Amino acid sequence: MAGIQAVGDFKLEKAEIITSSGMVIDLSASIIHITIFEDTTKNSLSGDILLQDSFAITSVAPIIGQEYLKLKISTPSLKDEEHIIDFTENVFIVNSLESRVAVGNNVTAYLLNFTTSEIVSNQRTKVSRSLKGSYSEIVKIMLGEVGCKKKKYIEPTSGNKRIVAPNIRPFDVIKMATREAISKFFFNPNYLFFETIKGYHFRSLSSLYAQNQKQTYTTFVHGSSIDKGGTVNITKELANVLDFEIIENSNSLVNYTAGVYASNLIVHDIYSKSYKKYQYGIFNNFRKEQHITSHHKGNRNNDDFPIYSHVVVDDDGRTVQDFPARTFVTPTSTALQQDAQHTTENNTSPFTPKKSQDWLQRRTSQMIQLEQGLLLNILTHGNTIVSAGDIVKLDLPYNASIKTTKDEKNDRFYKGAFFVKRLRHDFDFSDKKHKTLLTLVKDSLEDTLDGPEDVPEPKSKKFGELYEDREDFYPNM
């Protein structure tokens, strides 16, 4: 890590605003703090920049929320283009000015909110036409509609589709494609559409899980990263978890009602006037899906396990997957494995039918696991290598006064590969330090959870008394 004098070092190479009047203003000397957000559930980057102003720039320039922001920030040792936050050609759009506060000595502090130009173009663009091709091809067309000239990571999808866009925005079309897309390579659903500092991504969750790990994070005693010569080991220090917070664990009520554990699907074919039923169970389908641990355990045998126990929950020997509390009902129109609802100008039907049974229940379960799985926030020294959508390795220590029988050093749940769901870069100009707050999640474990068949829910053998007489409710009447 030559070039870094201390962990968290960063270099501001450019920070300029182009005002609505055409004036170019260098902000470098006025910046107090910059924050940039990346999120795999959002379709654009966003951020804010805190400024101190003694020249009344907001009135003179003026700054009214219609400016362009050129920003370039790098980590001194990283020269690779994808590791530099560079928005000098594809600029940010300043969308609002807020929180103007007088701080004394004729100085005003204010916050500029900014986002990427594609989301602004999306808000002022409507699509009203028929779109044909694979979902990945349609996504490329829609990114063209918003003028995207950034890098695009688009995983090809299977099937020939037709979408009739009824005066909706380009990203709404992409949202429709994201929901139903199935990968051409391994026929995996669960597509995500999001933006990072590296570009736009339209790809399956499985392809994200299959990435190499970008960073390893752990905790260690302060000062232990100092080498024998008295110098700080920068690489080791970058892996240090400064603080962490476990923010979510599995919620069984949500999992029952939302269809994580189990669900039913009724597909009604409006062409043949028939219907079929499909049942999804988390344990029965786990091996048919791809989860994060199977890609990062040193093998490809899919020997990862659910984060839920298959313990028997009642006297009938049923587990959580035997209660399909959610039912989906979807239409399709199939004739000879083609979509009979959509035809070409020549009255042919080359399009692929919807086939909800291939993606709907599985996608519902896995997407909610990203919200209700094993989630935690970690605070680390910042660098620009890790982005939202990447895979990192985490090893949190086993923290208890009593050791386990296996003498484990790391927490059995919060160890191994994790998916970076969202990320926040904080660049503090008071101490010239860059820190990163990451939200990590995983949907599988390296070892199975115990699930005995002889410990159902404890219940009384007697039935409670029933009170329904008039005297029970109106004793004095």
Token match 């736009």: residue? 200
Query: Within this chain, do residues 132 and 93 fall inside the same structural domain, yes or no?
Result: no
Across residues 157-169, what is the average pLDDT?
Answer: 92
Which of 87, 116, 145 is the last residue before a domain boundary? 116
34 touches 191 (CB < 8 A):
no
Instruction: Give domain status of residue 395, yes or no.
Output: no
Tell me, yes or no, whether 272 and 313 share the same domain: yes
Mean pLDDT, residues 360-370 taken together: 93
- Does residue 258 share a domain with residue 196? no
With respect to residue 282, please indicate whether it lies within any of the assigned structural domains.
yes
The predicted structure's pLDDT at residue 342: 67
pLDDT at 222: 57
pLDDT for the residue numbered 80: 77
- What digits encode the pLDDT tens for the residues 305-337? 999 988 888 888 899 999 999 999 998 887 767
Contact (Cβ atoms closer than 8 angstroms) between residue 378 and residue 243: yes
Instruction: Identify the weakest region by mean pLDDT among 97-101, 363-367, 442-446.
Output: 97-101
Q: Is 405 a member of any domain?
A: no
Question: Is pLDDT at 238 greater than 90 in this prediction?
Answer: no
Residue 110 sits in the same domain as residue 154: no
| 1, pLDDT greater than 60 | no
The whole-model pTM stands at 0.90
Q: Please check whether residues 129 and 109 belong to one and the same domain.
A: no
Residue 135 — pLDDT band, cuts 50, 70, 90?
very high
The reply to whether 135 and 67 lie within a common domain is: no
Amino acid letter for position 453: E
* pLDDT greater than 70 at residue 132: yes
**215 vs 417: CA distance, rounded Å:** 10
In single-letter form, the type of residue at position 32 comes to I
- In-domain check, residue 132: yes
5 bridge partner residues? none
**DSSP-based three-state secondary structure for 370:** helix
CA dihedral 167, 172, 175, 181 (to 10 degrees): 30
Do both 169 and 186 map to the same domain? yes
380-384, 387-391, 406-410, 458-462: range with highest mean pLDDT? 387-391
User: Is the domain of 103 the same as that of 157?
Assistant: no
Count of domains forming the chain: 3
Q: Is the pLDDT of residue 451 over 80?
A: no
Residue 178: inside a domain: yes
Rg of the chain (C-alpha set): 27
Q: Write the CA distances from 58 to 20, 24, 107, 464, integer angstroms.
A: 12, 13, 12, 71
Q: Which of 72-86, 342-356, 452-466 has the lowest mean pLDDT?
A: 342-356
Q: Please indicate, yes or no, whether residues 99 and 177 belong to a single structural domain of this protein.
A: no
Q: What are phi and psi of 122, to 5 degrees?
A: -60, -40
Domain boundary among 367, 391, 407: 367
Residue 148 is assigned to a structural domain of this protein: yes
Cα–Cα distance measured from residue 421 to residue 374, given in angstroms and rounded to the nearest whole number: 11
CATH number where 202 lies: 3.55.50.20
Quickly count: other Cβ atoms within 10 Å of residue 112's Cβ. 24
Q: Quick check: is 290 in a domain?
A: yes
Give the pair of three-digit tokens for residue 436.
Answer: 């990163």
Question: Is cis: bond before 324, omega within 30 of 0?
Answer: no
Residue 42 lies in a domain: yes
Task: Find the domain containing 180 and state its range.
Answer: 125-210
Out of 346, 367, 388, a domain closes at 367
Helices H, strands E: what count in the chain?
Answer: 10, 23
For residue 58, is pLDDT > 60?
yes
Tens of pLDDT along 257-313? 999 999 999 999 888 888 999 999 999 999 888 899 888 875 455 578 999 988 888
Residues 15 and 112 in one domain: yes
Regarding whether 157 and 130 lie in a shared domain, the answer is yes
Closest CA to 208 of 451, 420, 405, 448: 420
406 confidence band (pLDDT: 50, 70, 90): low
pLDDT in tens, 383-401: 889 999 999 999 887 665 4
CATH of the domain at 51: 2.40.10
